[in-house]
């Protein structure tokens, strides 16, 4: 069935792992996508790989949207010119490598072709946009939209406006993310590590301490997450867990706060030292579980399991 897409154009700057993921997500929602990369050969590689990925999602039954993989592939074009890539785009997603110098130079370029209504979002994992947009003409149109790998199956997007980002731009980004099937959260201000990594690092720090103090093996530490907490957290967060595990969160605090504080007072205060000896020991244990020559297979297995979980969650 011919289904002409006229939903608007999205520009993707940088066609590596994350750029390709964003493109697949946007075409799933019926948008036209133009992909730019500084490396001409990479654009061709990316186009071929995206066609392959969309086809494989279709075969696995996890392709998004109503269009076939072939129709979705046709919505993606490559461009060797950044200006042409951005022309008439409603939204630009920057996906170049994580370095402040790189972000500064690319955003300087994007600023030249930004129009009044365009949103320009960076995929940056940990650099505040205020560190590279401050002196630009269109800084009110710019912000962070940080995806989680693999974005096609882990829909969280952290939206972090700089202090000067227009509220309307932040809101529009959030609406667009909802519309394309991602799950946006909006940080009200910039903090180091944004939300996901702050919470992730708190977890990692405690795992490290439990290992270093000889309480658990590496395997058993990971099991706490994937057989315990992780399963719960795939459906409800830690705050709602408290709410449901008592008669509301206030009741939970009344009942358990004292015990929690006692336990928490035994935590090693940050910064934790990720010492080489502990890293060596964990590495050895993990290599027994996942041998070095099997990490790629294991990554594919992980993404396939995440695809199944995503299916379950989308069907509700």
Ligand X SMILES: *[C@@H]1O[C@H](CO)[C@@H](O)[C@H](O)[C@H]1NC(C)=O
Ligand Y SMILES: NC(=O)c1ccc[n+]([C@@H]2O[C@H](COP(=O)([O-])OP(=O)(O)OC[C@H]3O[C@@H](n4cnc5c(N)ncnc54)[C@H](O)[C@@H]3O)[C@@H](O)[C@H]2O)c1
CA quadruple 244, 250, 252, 255: dihedral sign = negative
**The residue to which tokens 């060797």 are assigned:** 80
Q: How far is CA 87 from CA 12, 145, 149, 275, in A?
A: 12, 21, 28, 49
Distance CA 105, CA 107 (A): 6
Q: Which residues in the 25-44 window bind ligand Y by CB under 6 A? A: 37-39, 42
Nearer to ligand Y, 63 or 96 (CB): 96
Residues binding ligand Y: number (CB under 6 A):
23
Which of ligand Y, ligand X, none does residue 173 bind (CB under 5 to 8 Å by kind)? none
**Integer-rounded Cα radius of gyration of the chain:** 22
Q: Considering Cα of 27, then 15, then 193, then 279, what sign does the dihedral take?
A: positive
User: Residue 216 CB, nearest distance to ligand Y (Å)?
Assistant: 27
Q: Which range, of 140-148, 184-192, 252-260, 281-289, touches ligand X by CB under 6 A? A: 184-192
Q: Quick one: which of 3, 44, 60, 66 contacts ligand X (CB under 6 A)?
A: 66
Contact with ligand Y (CB under 6 A) among 70, 81, 98, 240:
98
Residue 243's binding partner among ligand X, ligand Y, none (Cβ under 5 to 8 angstroms by kind) is none
Among 8, 16, 65, 181, binds ligand Y (CB under 6 A): 16
Q: Residue 291 corresponds to which tokens in the numbers above?
A: 């041998």
From ligand X, ligand Y, none, interface partner of 18 (C-beta below 5 to 8 A by class): ligand Y
d(CA 22, CA 20): 6
Phi, psi of 239 (to 5 degrees): -75, -45
Of 66 and 99, which has the nearer Cβ to ligand X? 66
Measured CA to CA in angstroms, residue 7 lies from 12, 27, 95, 257 at distances of 16, 10, 22, 51
Q: Residue 147's binding partner, choosing from ligand Y, ligand X, none, with beta-carbon cut-off 5 to 8 A by kind?
A: ligand Y
As a whole number of angstroms, the distance between CA 11 and CA 121 comes to 10
**Options 24-32, 213-221, 278-286, 307-315: segment touching ligand X (CB under 6 A):** 24-32
Q: Quick one: what does residue 66 bind among ligand X, ligand Y, none, with the CB cut-off 5 to 8 Å set by partner type?
A: ligand X
Angle at 114 between CA 110 and CA 117, to 5 degrees: 145
From the CB of 299, what's the least distance to ligand X, in Å?
8
Among 49, 68, 125, 140, binds ligand X (CB under 6 A): 49
Residues in contact with ligand X by the rule CB under 6 A: 4-5, 9, 17, 20, 29-30, 32, 45, 49, 53, 65-66, 74-75, 128, 167-168, 171, 190-192
């Amino acid at each position: 069935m011919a289904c002409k897409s006229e939903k608007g154009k999205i520009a993707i700057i940088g066609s590596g792992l994350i750029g390709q993921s964003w493109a697949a997500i946007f075409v799933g929602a019926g948008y036209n996508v133009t992909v730019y990369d500084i490396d001409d050969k990479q654009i061709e590689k990316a186009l071929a790989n995206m066609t392959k990925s969309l086809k494989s999602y279709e075969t696995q039954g996890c392709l998004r949207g109503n269009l076939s993989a072939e129709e979705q592939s046709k919505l993606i074009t490559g461009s060797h010119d950044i200006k042409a890539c951005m022309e008439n785009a409603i939204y630009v997603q920057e996906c170049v490598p994580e370095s402040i110098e790189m972000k500064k130079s690319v955003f300087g370029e994007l600023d030249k072709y930004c129009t009044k209504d365009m949103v320009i979002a960076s995929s940056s994992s940990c650099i505040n946009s205020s560190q590279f947009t401050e002196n630009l003409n269109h800084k009110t149109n710019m912000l962070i939209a940080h995806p989680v790998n693999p974005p096609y199956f882990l829909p969280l997007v952290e939206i972090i406006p700089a202090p000067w980002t227009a509220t309307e731009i932040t809101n529009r980004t959030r609406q667009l993310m909802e519309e394309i099937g991602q799950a946006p959260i909006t940080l009200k201000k910039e903090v180091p590590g944004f939300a996901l990594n702050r919470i992730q690092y708190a977890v990692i720090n405690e795992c490290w301490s439990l290992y270093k103090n000889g309480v658990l093996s590496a395997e058993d530490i990971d099991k706490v997450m994937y057989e315990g907490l992780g399963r719960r957290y795939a459906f409800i967060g830690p705050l709602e867990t408290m709410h449901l595990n008592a008669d509301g969160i206030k009741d939970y605090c009344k009942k358990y706060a004292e015990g929690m504080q006692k336990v928490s007072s035994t935590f090693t205060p940050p910064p934790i030292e990720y010492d080489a000896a502990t890293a060596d020991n964990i590495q050895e244990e993990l290599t027994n579980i996942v041998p070095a020559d099997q990490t790629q297979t294991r990554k594919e297995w992980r993404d396939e399991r995440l695809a199944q979980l995503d299916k379950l969650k989308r069907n509700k």
